[in-house]
């Protein structure tokens, strides 16, 4: 987007004729999320009030954890979404009008008001993570901030290095290894010289995890009990388990973790799309016997690592040492489908939505 | 015991006329341990072969974890006991005859061959923890090594300071707070200036935890759901949970732990005396949302902390800043009852057995 079009949009905006669509929570899903739980509504986009700025979103991240906030709450997680309100999620876009200091038309911004075409923001985030200016160039396009250079990338990086305290010689097991986070974890662990085992939900994904991402072994968790598959590919046990799914995977990992092993609890996608109470691992006691550490985290808790992480990841991306798979859905009208497919395990890599008018190669 | 009696015993031993009793596992308990699962057998005590030494036990520690090893195994814990073999557990006693370097008649020894009146030992432990010489004097009698100066003490100390990484201002919750480990954890945390909450299994124990051990608050977990009681006495939440019991306690603690809170997984006595598969905490996902750490441990993993621990604990005991409750059972014939009562929650403080001829004040 060039300066002229930015100015034009700002004028349109100022004239009050701008309209944009947003995805709202219509009803709370009891089990699987279905299209009727969400609705897409077109609303007037107001010019920024003093202290505000307006961003036209180009790309949006679709994250499984959004599903958690559609429930009534009580998991100790982020507050549930209100019915009738738009969802929240990471997005990038350009400022089209601003009455806020530090944000000028044309600036590229990473912020949390996704799930809408236009985002009205304040510099302190107003209850969400504060929006930040991002550098965009040919090598690091906007969309990279939805994936490897954004929170997803930080999650992989700190989860493996800080939370699981990756040590020389560790054997690493990653679940959802073909997913947005898992695919990076596999590659970072390989870069560091580790033996890496992945699990995924289809033969195609399993082949992708070994052939494209470079894992030493992988299995499809739908073929047979996870414990059996894991024991087969990890006869010597594992030292680190990067847990994206919870449930049976965690239980299987606890069985084969070696003394002083570590689990990074990153997510539990196997439990998000259900109403039932999740049952914890029946073998948690093995943590006593083996001196295991289980540590939960969200990337925001490690925000102070963002600078170091971005420097490392930029270098890896530029050297071609990290490859980042994406699955792109076109237009906000397909954002609900993107999330439903992601929760069903029907996607591969990072799921993002390109908004109408977003740069084709972003 | 003086030098003369030691020599006499060595002679008796050498003459081959010595006999001693031991407690053997007769059958594996499916649920509650009952007297018929154990048997007490008198056996010949043989003089030490080359490289061996013989100890007459004075005191024996009764630990809930012994119950785990009566099962078929598979918890990833120490190997199960063999049927027909004597149990294992910490004991102290004096060498009565020795053909091993470094162990002389009269020496006081801490070792793992409890549950028998005479223990035939080798310096490297022969598959158990190596026996160690201990200093015994009026202020630190033999029995102290079964409790505050032994593995139980180290468990409390490293569990709180190393495993749970106790930090200034932490609110600490301890389950089984009237027990062998819990009673020390409460007092160490109070010494460090923390707010401490305990749970126990009777009104008498609750009063003991607050009035004698100095906890700020305590509740009886049998009165109502643990979560309700804990929420009442910890309205601001907790930062550290020292888990001796597992089950509902752990689930309740996960609910009220504050961000970056820590759990030291020390034991799960609530699950030992049952055959069913333990169900893990249904709310483990809160560890993700709150960035919690759960870390299992056994004191042996922190053996390098023994010297520092003993120095601190000796000073606390001598200053009267730590008080150590004990429940003493007399004679090996009462050792099975001691364990059964301990598992049923019918004891208070550290459960130890004084063997016939053990010093009355140890």
Nearest to B326 by CA among B175, B212, B160: B212
Where does residue B258 rank: exposed (0-12), middle (13-18), buried (19+ CB within 10 A)? Answer: middle
Local confidence band at B358 (pLDDT 50, 70, 90 cut-offs): low
Is B285–A297 a contact, with Cβ atoms under 8 angstroms apart?
no
Local confidence band at B345 (pLDDT 50, 70, 90 cut-offs): confident
Is B78–A278 a contact, with Cβ atoms under 8 angstroms apart?
no
Q: How many CB atoms lie within 10 A of CB A253?
A: 28
Local structure of B128: helix, strand or coil: strand
CB–CB of A19/A54 below 8 Å? no
A·B CB contacts under 8 A: 137
Torsion of CA A251, A257, A263, A267, to 10 degrees: -30
Q: Which one of B78, B250, B286 has the shortest CB-CB distance to A76? A: B286
Local structure of B296: helix, strand or coil: strand
Model confidence at A74: pLDDT above 70:
no
Q: Which is more confidently placed, A17 or A225? A: A225
Model confidence at B333: pLDDT above 90:
yes
Which pLDDT value is given to residue B16? Answer: 59
% of chain A beyond a pLDDT of 90: 74
DSSP assigned state of B148: T
Interface pTM, i.e. ipTM: 0.86
Which pLDDT value is given to residue A2? Answer: 40
Lowest-pLDDT choice from A24-38, A61-75, A196-210, A247-261? A61-75
Which pLDDT value is given to residue B71? Answer: 85
Which pLDDT value is given to residue B280? Answer: 85
Measured distance CA(A19)–CA(A46) in Å, rounded = 9
Within an 8 Å CB–CB cutoff, is residue B247 touching chain A?
Answer: no
HEC assignment per residue over chain A? CCHHHHHHHHHHHHHCCCEEEEEEECCCCCCCCCHHHEEEEEEECCCCCCCCEEEEEEEEECCHHHHHHHCCCCCCCCCCCCCCCECCECEEEEEEEECCCCCCCCCEEEECECCECEEEECCCCECECCCEECCCCCCCCHHHHHCCCCHHHHHHHHHHHHHCCCCCCCEEEECCCCECCHHHHHHHHHHCCCEEEEEECCHHHHHHHHHCCCCCEEEECCCCCHHHHHHHHCCCCEEEEEECCCHHHHHHHHHHEEEEEEEEECCCHHHHCCCCCCCECCCCCHHHHHCCEEEECCHHHHHHHHHHHHHHHHHHHHCCCCCCCEEEEECHHHHHHHHHHHHCCCCCEEEEEECCCCCCCC
Considering only CB atoms, which chain B residues are within 8 Å of A75? Answer: 283, 285-286, 289
The H or E element that residue B33 is part of is: none
Tell me the average pLDDT across B299-312: 93
Q: Which is more confidently placed, A262 or B346? A: A262
Within an 8 Å CB–CB cutoff, is residue B46 touching chain A?
Answer: no
Which chain B residue's Cα is nearest to A286? B76
Q: Which is more confidently placed, B120 or A14? A: B120
Determine the distance in angstroms separating the CA of A267 from the nearest CA of chain B, rounded to an integer. 7
Which pLDDT value is given to residue B133? Answer: 95
pLDDT digit string, tens, across residues A272-294:
666 555 678 989 989 998 999 99
CB–CB of A129/A300 below 8 Å? yes
Tell me the average pLDDT across B121-148: 90
Model confidence at B35: pLDDT above 70:
yes
Length of chain B: 362
Which pLDDT value is given to residue B270? Answer: 66
Is A291–B295 a contact, with Cβ atoms under 8 angstroms apart?
yes
Measured distance CA(A131)–CA(A92) in Å, rounded = 9
Nearest to B114 by CA among B71, B63, B76: B63
Which pLDDT value is given to residue B31? Answer: 87
Measured distance CA(B48)–CA(B59) in Å, rounded = 21
Which pLDDT value is given to residue B11? Answer: 46
Which pLDDT value is given to residue B9? Answer: 46
Which chain A residue's Cα is nearest to B264? A288
Determine the distance in angstroms separating the CA of B87 from the nearest CA of chain A, rounded to an integer. 18
Within an 8 Å CB–CB cutoff, is residue B284 touching chain A?
Answer: yes
Beta pairing partners, A164: none
Which pLDDT value is given to residue B3? Answer: 39
**Average pLDDT, whole number, for chain A?**
90
Q: Which one of A267, A281, A282 has the shortest CB-CB distance to B288? A: A267
Nearest to A156 by CA among A262, A305, A15, A353: A305
Q: Which one of B282, B284, B295 has the shortest CB-CB distance to A293? A: B295
Q: Which one of B259, B280, B298 has the shortest CB-CB distance to A281? A: B280
Local confidence band at B274 (pLDDT 50, 70, 90 cut-offs): low
Which pLDDT value is given to residue B356? Answer: 78
pLDDT digit string, tens, across residues A13-24:
455 579 999 999
Tell me the average pLDDT across B258-276: 80
Q: Report pTM.
A: 0.87
Tell me the average pLDDT across B241-270: 92
Is A284–B298 a contact, with Cβ atoms under 8 angstroms apart?
no
Local structure of B361: helix, strand or coil: coil
Which pLDDT value is given to residue A7? Answer: 44
Nearest to A261 by CA among A279, A234, A282: A234
Tell me the average pLDDT across B9-37: 81
Model confidence at A77: pLDDT above 90:
no
% of chain B beyond a pLDDT of 70: 90
Within an 8 Å CB–CB cutoff, is residue A334 touching chain B?
Answer: no
Which chain A residue's Cα is nearest to B78? A289
Nearest to A241 by CA among A233, B298, A251, A232: A251
Q: Which one of A266, A277, A289 has the shortest CB-CB distance to B76? A: A289
Site of tokens 């947005």: A180
Measured distance CA(A197)–CA(A211) in Å, rounded = 12
Is A301–B294 a contact, with Cβ atoms under 8 angstroms apart?
no
Tell me the average pLDDT across B267-282: 70
**Highest-pLDDT range among A69-83, B7-21, B77-91:** B77-91
Where does residue A274 rank: exposed (0-12), middle (13-18), buried (19+ CB within 10 A)? Answer: middle
Local structure of B287: helix, strand or coil: helix
Q: Which is more confidently placed, B213 or A140? A: B213
Model confidence at A129: pLDDT above 60:
yes
Sign of CA dihedral B42, B47, B50, B52: positive
Sign of CA dihedral B50, B51, B52, B53: positive
Determine the distance in angstroms separating the CA of B295 from the nearest CA of chain A, rounded to an integer. 4
Length of chain A: 362
Tell me the average pLDDT across A349-360: 78
Local structure of B134: helix, strand or coil: coil
Q: How many CB atoms lie within 10 A of CB A78?
A: 16
Q: Which is more confidently placed, A271 or A360? A: A271
Tell me the average pLDDT across B179-192: 96
pLDDT digit string, tens, across residues A150-186:
999 999 999 999 999 999 999 999 999 999 999 999 9
Measured distance CA(A355)–CA(A62) in Å, rounded = 13
Tell me the average pLDDT across A339-355: 92
Q: Which one of A251, A290, A298 has the shortest CB-CB distance to B76? A: A290
Report B:60-99 residues touching A (Cβ under 8 A). 75-78
| Chain A interface disruption, residue of B245, B288, B290, B299, most A CBs within 10 A | B288
Which pLDDT value is given to residue B4? Answer: 38
Measured distance CA(A22)–CA(A30) in Å, rounded = 23
Within an 8 Å CB–CB cutoff, is residue B288 touching chain A?
Answer: yes
Model confidence at A357: pLDDT above 80:
no
Determine the distance in angstroms separating the CA of A70 from the nearest CA of chain B, rounded to an integer. 15
Local confidence band at B2 (pLDDT 50, 70, 90 cut-offs): very low
The structure tokens listed for A23 are 């995805």
């Amino acid at each position: 987007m060039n300066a002229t079009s930015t100015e034009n949009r700002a004028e349109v905006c100022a004239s009050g004729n701008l309209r944009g669509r947003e995805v709202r929570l219509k009803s709370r899903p009891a089990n699987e999320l279905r299209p009727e739980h969400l609705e897409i509504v077109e609303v007037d986009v107001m010019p920024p009030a003093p202290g505000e700025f307006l961003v036209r979103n180009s790309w949006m991240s679709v994250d499984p954890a959004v599903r958690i906030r559609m429930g009534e709450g009580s998991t100790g997680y982020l507050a549930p979404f209100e019915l009738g309100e738009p969802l929240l999620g990471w997005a990038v876009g350009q400022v089209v009008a601003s009455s806020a200091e530090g944000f000028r038309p044309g600036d590229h911004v990473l912020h949390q008001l996704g799930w809408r075409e236009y985002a009205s923001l304040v510099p302190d985030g107003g209850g969400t993570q504060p929006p930040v200016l991002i550098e965009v160039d040919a090598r690091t396009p906007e969309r990279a901030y939805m994936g490897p250079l954004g929170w997803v990338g930080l999650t992989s990086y700190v989860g493996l290095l800080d939370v699981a305290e990756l040590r020389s010689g560790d054997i690493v097991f990653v679940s959802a290894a073909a997913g947005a986070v898992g695919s990076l974890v596999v590659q970072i662990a390989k870069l560091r010289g580790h033996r890496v085992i992945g699990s995924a939900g289809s033969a195609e994904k399993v082949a992708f995890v070994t052939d494209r991402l470079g894992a030493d072994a992988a299995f499809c968790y739908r073929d047979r009990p996870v414990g059996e598959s894991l024991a087969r590919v990890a006869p010597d046990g594992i030292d680190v388990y990067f847990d994206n799914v919870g449930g049976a995977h965690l239980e299987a990992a606890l069985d084969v973790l070696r003394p002083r092993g570590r689990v990074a609890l990153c997510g539990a996608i196997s439990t998000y799309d259900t109403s039932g109470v999740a049952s914890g691992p029946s073998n948690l006691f093995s943590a006593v016997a083996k001196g295991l550490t289980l540590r939960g985290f969200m990337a925001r808790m490690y925000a102070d690592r963002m600078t170091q992480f971005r420097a490392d990841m930029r270098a890896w991306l530029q050297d071609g040492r990290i490859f980042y798979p994406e699955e792109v859905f076109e237009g906000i009208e397909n954002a609900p489908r993107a999330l439903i497919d992601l929760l069903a395990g029907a996607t591969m890599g990072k799921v993002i939505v390109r908004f109408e008018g977003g740069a084709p190669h972003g």
